[in-house]
Structure 1
Amino acid sequence: MITQRPILPNQNFTYRFDLTGQEGTLWWHAHEPFLRATVHGAVIIRPRGWPDSYPFPKPDKEVPIIIGVAEDGYVLDVEPGKTYLCA
């Protein structure tokens, strides 16, 4: 688990992690309760040498499909364009 201070507006942070020996489709998500219903995505790790080393026919197209439920998310009453301090 990664724990850090929030990333401020107009700032960035690069996560570095080791995926040695991993391949396949995984998913990531935030552990921050305020963001749990909105921040998630797919991580696709292909084998080294892809697609030549892949033992199956190369697909014509790949479309990751991510289904999320936002019913437990928080609703904020905000004005578009404004910045709000939430932390």
Structure 2
Amino acid sequence: MGFHAVRFDGVTPASPAALLGARSTRRSYGRAAVAAAIENGMLPGELSEVLAGRSVVEAFPVAGHESVSDYAERAVAELMVAYLSHPLV
């Protein structure tokens, strides 16, 4: 196993605008997934039950450079699987 030195010369912290942009992007992905889930027949209460207080993006992270529509489609599929495997109370 080798030793790797990492240098951060010239690196500045992210600006608040860049962080806001990332938050806004996450929000776009989440909104698209929620809209698609409801459009595909999931009730808001069922959605809340599966997410258990998390956002869609927290529960099902965006993969790589996935487009919003691709993410929404995949997230809905994962939400449905999670809902169906959720134990009935």
- The TM tier, using the shorter chain, reads under 0.3
TM-score, scaled relative to structure 2? 0.21
User: Which structure is higher in strand share?
Assistant: 1
User: Which structure is higher in helix share?
Assistant: 2
Asked which structure has the greater RCO (Cα within 8 Å, sep 6+), the reply is 2
TM-score, scaled relative to structure 1? 0.22
